[in-house]
Structure 1
Amino acid sequence: MDVVEGGSDNEEKREWAELTQVCLVNVFSRLTYSERWKGTMFVCKSWFEASKCPSLFSRFDLEPQFLAVPDSYLWWNSEFENKIDSILRSVACWSDGRLKEIHVRHCSDRSLAFVAERCPNLQVFSIKSCPNVTDMSITKVAFACSMLGELDISYCHEISYKSLEVIGLRCPNLKVLKRNLLNWLDPSQHIGIVPNVYLNACPQDGDREASVIATSMPKLEHLELRFSKMSANGLASVADGCGSLEYLDLFGCANLTSRSMENAAAKMKNLKTLVRPNFYIPRSLFHMERYGHWRLYDERFQTNAFFHI
């Protein structure tokens, strides 16, 4: 590909490949990550070298690519995970420590351990739907990336309360935490896409996670706990420990009553938005032995937990 610069009898042709790296980087910075990765990077050697400039990798965001197509069962296999790991490791290497934001899905402990080594300035870390990310790599990230201000570990069922505790202790500036789970109340939307064994691995320790969040993340302003299995006790601990919360998402939290949410909201003076469960909760989910007939009627039916809140 060439550009013709005319205007005189001696027209001059200049090859794009001969542009300085500074010029190329300036042009590439205006392209999306996908455009660079699938196009410019493979034109020629000089473009490839310019495409690896650290200044182009302060932010790595694959979320638009995931949102552009329907969820696929192919994303949950090891081959796809290996590809994501390879891309993430390359970006972490090329960034030369400048990477501040990561938005990715379906990576594993292998690439995150590398990120922990190479990206000490990480501030926004979003790794959704990662069945092979565990406490091991999250702990490494927590110790290496103390500047974290936003963390999204939604649908990562192998991450436990232990990681949340270390993140809270090692990342004192954390303001945003998204710990949403897959819809265990109506898993039909995931069947055929998410492996059944992973659907059945939905974390059960909602109250313990809530307690850790309350004690180790007092500066949180935004918290998402969709489909958490925490009870009123867990929510009460969050209300007591996270007084700076402005946004709290409890959609799908089937074990909460309207009364417990009202009590919690009353304690959180800075709260601006409270997203309630807002769905029909089947009676079969309730532990009838815990409630007498009238108490069940009073706490569940009267407070509209069976209907849209």
Structure 2
Amino acid sequence: MESPSSSTSSPSSTRSEQYRNWQELPRDVTASILQRLGAIEILDSAQKVCMHWRNVCKDPSMWRAIDMRNHEDLDTPFDPEKMCRHAIDRSSGQLRDITIEHFGTDDLLNHITNSSSQLRRLRLVSCYCITDEGLNEAAAKLPLLEELEISPCSFSKESLMALGRCCPLLKSFKLNQQGFRWPRIEWDEEAVAVAESMPELRHLQLFGNKLTNDGLNAILNGCPHLESLDLRQCFNVNLSGDLGKRCAERIKSLRCPNDPTDDYEFDAEIDDGGSFDEDDPSGMSDIDYLSEGYGYYEFSGESDFSYDDFTDYGDFYDFGDYYFG
């Protein structure tokens, strides 16, 4: 007959089964879990949990994709651009996909392209301090780029042409702005740049663009492989008649100017001229301010932390070794 002790699990073994040690997880499983965090959470929190996690977080394969969109939502005193540079350096040339928001500059874009010759996907969100010159210089070092998003910003026709010429593998392009009806401004320069330099495009999003039917016709002529086209809030485009029929026949997934914007990632509020400030002596609209770079703001926040306490930003994050041996 079995004794009670042999047939019943002890309380200690039961607790052991309920509370597994995270450090016992296989390395690839740990990496898969940590990769679901953003770059900021990894650098600012996850890598400090234990030495095992820290070693995983320092593996270059962890940094093939870097998402720096959420820095404003986190309570951290650190400069996002320096943090981004540190993440790029950790990739050791393996970076394939990067998203930056608000803090992008020409210098940072240059660092990305110099350090990441294999980059396939680039997203620049509200990076108003990136200039045409900076974009031109970056384009020359992105021969393998397949996906590019610039939201909600605008660049010159020449810069977009340079992107098309230097990135012959470009399959997806998003150039998004704020939609507005008044004052009515017709502007086909960007559409023509796409049509003349990006013939391999499969997916194109021009949310809030000022293109006209002429610009749309140019795109249809110049991008014969186009499968999806998003023209929401492009209020200068009229898809009635032959042009609408042509789009319906050519494009598998078509979003029209007045289609719902529920799934649009950014602010879809339409500016119908109410943003003009009559008291502003310059007579500039909100859109003018954004196009001139006034919409950019630098990271700031009150903190006792000083970057002067460390000689190198990377050294600051590597100070975790002091605690973990």
1:239 aligns with 2:220: yes
Q: Distance in 1 between matches of 2:272 and 2:66?
A: 44
Contact preservation (8 Å) 2:62, 2:91: yes
Out of 46, 54, 76, which is 2:60 matched to?
Answer: 54
- Read off the aligned partner of 1:162 and give its amino acid letter: E
The 1:205/1:174 distance shift into structure 2, 3 A limit, reads farther
| Aligned mates of 1:282, 1:135 — CA distance in 2 | 25
Q: Deviations over 1:30-66 (max 9, x none)?
A: 2133342232323467754542221111111234x37
Structure 1 residue 211 corresponds to structure 2 residue 192: yes
Partner of 2:256: 276
SS in structure 1 of the partner of residue 151 of structure 2? coil
Match of 2:90 among 94, 97, 110: 94
Seen in structure 2, the aligned counterparts of structure 1 residues 126 and 235 have a Cα distance that, compared at 3 Å, is: same
Amino acid at match of 2:201: L
**Partner residue, 1:227:** 208
CA contact (8 A) 2:204 2:230 kept: yes
Within-5 A mapping of 1:149-298: 149-157=146-154, 159-185=155-181, 206-259=187-240, 262-263=242-243, 266=246, 270-278=250-258
CA drift of 1:185 comes to 4.0
Q: TM-score, normalised by structure 2?
A: 0.64
Offset at residue 264 of structure 1 (A)? 6.0
Alignment match, 2:108: 111
Determine if contact 1:133/1:156 at 8 Å carries over to the other structure: no
Deviation at 1:177, TM superposition (A): 0.4
Contact 2:144 2:167 in 1 (8 A): yes
> Which residue of 1 is the match for residue 138 of structure 2?
141
> In structure 1, what is the equivalent of residue 128 of structure 2?
131
Cα pair 1:176 1:220 within 8 Å, conserved: yes
State the TM-score, normalized to the length of structure 1.
0.67
> 1:166 Cα deviation (Å)?
0.9
Structure number with the bigger relative contact order (C-alpha 8 A, sep ≥ 6) is 2
How many positions carry a matched residue from both structures? 242
AA partner of residue 63 (structure 2): F
Partner of 1:305: none
Matched residue SS, 1:254: coil
Deviates more, 1:133-142 or 1:262-271: 262-271
CA distance in 1 between partners of 2:254 and 2:22 (Å): 54
Counterpart residue type for residue 151 of structure 1: L
Distance verdict in 2 for CA 1:83–1:282, change over 3 Å: closer
CA deviation vs aligned residue, 1:171-206 (integer Å, no higher than 9, x gap):
1111100001023348xxxxxxxxxxxxx9xxx773
More helix as a share of residues: 1
Distance 1:104 1:51 in 2: 20
Cα separation, partners in 2 of 1:254 and 1:223, compared to 1, 3 Å: same
List alignment gaps of at least 5 residues for structure 1: 1-5, 8-14, 70-78, 187-199, 285-309
Paired residue type of 1:266 = R
Letter of the structure 2 residue corresponding to residue 230 of structure 1 = L
Paired residue for 1:36? Answer: 42
The AA in structure 2 aligned to 1:103 is T
Alpha-carbon deviation of 1:218? 0.7
% identical aligned pairs:
29
